[in-house]
Amino acid sequence: MMQSLNQSLTHLPQISAARLAELQSDYLKQASSLWNAALGSGELPKPQDRRFASDAWQTSPMSQFLAQLYLLNGRTLNQMADAVEADAKTRERIRFAVAQFVDAASPSNFFALNPEALKLALDSSGETLSKGLQNLLDDVRRGHVSQTDEEAFEVGRNVATTAGSVVFENALFQLIEYAPLTPTVHPRPFLLVPPCINKYYILDLQPENSLIRYAVSQGHRVFVVSWRNPDDSCKALTWDDYVEHGVIEALRVVGEIGGQPQFNTLGFCVGGTLLATALAVLAARGQHPASSVTLLTTLIDFSDNGVLDIFVDEALVRMRETTLGPEAPGGPQLLPGRELATTFSFLRPNDLVWNYVVGNYLKGEKPPAFDLLYWNGDSTNLPGPMYCWYLRHTYLQNELKQPGKLTVCGEPLDLGLIKAPVYIYGSREDHIVPWKAAYRSTQIFKGKKRFVMGASGHIAGVINPAAKNKRSHWIGKTASLPAEADEWFAAATEHPGSWWTDWSTWLASHAGTGQVPAPKAPGNRKYKAIEPAPGRYVKQAA
């Protein structure tokens, strides 16, 4: 038994003795320097970290020492994680676990060690402590750490306000058609498929940052899929259901209402994966309803997806299948929306978790009103079978890109059969769909393709209104799309402002010739208005 244990231990991830000795030596030198400075034989450096940027941290020698010692400990632990001798995935998991521990252990997260929180409590005679406790109790009732003033927003009142009507619904989604803002419109309609793991109104937050309103103002007849927030009646739904009765059904209805055999389409994140799958299924049936396809921060080739890869292996997928899928005791279950939201928040814990723990509870502050973070907290459930299929066949086995490998809705899947031109967008700082992962889609589709990269992250890079002229975007100097993303970037040119203007020009070129009078009423004789936008489905809470 002892021999077996010793053999197991020799296969555990380890750090070479030489590297460990080097790290220990460096740590002791830096720790000694800090200690000597704290005792008065030198000057403590100011901590260059925004968590310790306030005057309360900068003017207190003890707090400066604690902050610098914490930063040194964090650097050393991260260096140790980098030095682990193991396969790439194991090393990434260790890095992630260490980073989570380091971020959680910051002295700024503890009231007794946070001089700014202590000063606020003293100056307010304890009022900030009282408010912080109330904020904590409120968040316990909500079931999550508040990232924004949730009482400041209401769907349909000051977010998701673009005028429109629900013109179709089934058990899976509502289809919204938006009222025109121009006297004439492009002949071909425009359908948007948002991610089903979030509410659609990320594309319609407020008038000044609404991608939907922007498209309507550019003379497009715009439709959007508003996914239902699944309840127990939906827990057995599959990926095939979302494709056949979701996206394909929406494509059919838009085609009938618009009276056009082809029209523009857009998919965002998982919505793009669903849209591409649906168009490939239809292509296998000899149908090609898309005159163009826009894919925003969408994964098609799942071979390297950044930090999310560390969560996915056979053991995890198998566990999900036996607890959420058809094999689960008692049958399929729902994946709670809050679980997904928490996972995504802990991909950036300092920004999306500990920042609010400190502000809400230690300082007694109400988080500011921010529409994007309100949407981020409006989580959605997922049917277990659909989620498990997605995990296994995309993140784990990367089969979506392989012609004929998968059968979806009874059809062998080949994305290369999609004939429509494709506009592919990636965000440079995206931690969910790294831009190089988005770029890999250029090697899968066979028709005309255009790739554009925007600044910022997964959401802020996409929701970058043209009128604000913020950030920048990169466009290739030629139409050539080499196999390697770095080669494309080396030849790309940076342009100031939003990528929306480039995309708008491209989209209009596929929207039909000339203009036609804008419709006077939503839908048509067969599909009449059911209720005003944003509809009932988007208001269902997880």
pLDDT in tens, 18-66: 999 999 999 999 999 999 888 876 678 888 899 999 999 988 889 999 9
On whether residue 315 sits in a domain, the answer given is: no
520 in the same domain as 418:
yes
Domain boundary pick from 123, 148, 179: 123
Q: What is the mean pLDDT of residues 369-373?
A: 93
- DSSP character at residue 492: E
528 in the same domain as 415:
yes
411 in the same domain as 287:
yes
On whether residue 88 sits in a domain, the answer given is: yes
Q: What is the mean pLDDT of residues 115-133?
A: 97
By residue range, what is the domain housing residue 475?
A: 164-304+381-539
pLDDT tier at 8, thresholds 50, 70, 90: very low
Cis peptide, bond prior to residue 534, ω within 30 of zero? yes
On whether residue 418 sits in a domain, the answer given is: yes
What is the domain-level CATH number for residue 516?
3.40.50.1820
On whether residue 174 sits in a domain, the answer given is: yes
How wide is the angle at C-alpha 99 spanned by C-alphas 365 and 322, nearest 5°? 100
Query: Which is nearest to 180 in space by CA: 225, 223, 226?
Result: 223
Per-chain mean pLDDT for the chain? 94
Q: What is the mean pLDDT of residues 481-498?
A: 96
On whether residue 535 sits in a domain, the answer given is: yes
171 in the same domain as 115:
no
415 in the same domain as 267:
yes
Domain boundary pick from 101, 123, 145: 123
The answer, yes or no, to whether residue 4 has pLDDT greater than 80, is no
On whether residue 337 sits in a domain, the answer given is: no
Residue 282: the pLDDT is 98
Residue 342: the pLDDT is 86
Q: Are strands 472-476 and 449-454 parallel, antiparallel or unpaired?
A: antiparallel
Domain count, the chain: 2
In three-state secondary structure terms, 337 is helix
On whether residue 144 sits in a domain, the answer given is: no
List for the chain the helix, strand, coil content (%; round to 5). 50, 15, 40
The answer, yes or no, to whether residue 74 has pLDDT greater than 70, is yes
Domain boundary pick from 70, 102, 123: 123
Active site members = 269
pLDDT tier at 7, thresholds 50, 70, 90: very low
Query: Which is nearest to 68 in space by CA: 106, 104, 97?
Result: 106
Residue 12: the pLDDT is 64
Residue 408: the pLDDT is 98
191 in the same domain as 63:
no
pLDDT tier at 111, thresholds 50, 70, 90: very high
On whether residue 373 sits in a domain, the answer given is: no
Tokens representing residue 428 in the block: 């440079």
Angle 88-104/61-83 helices, nearest 10 degrees?
170
113 in the same domain as 175:
no
The whole-angstrom separation of Cα 311 and Cα 464 is 30
Q: Which residue has the tokens 């927030």?
A: 229
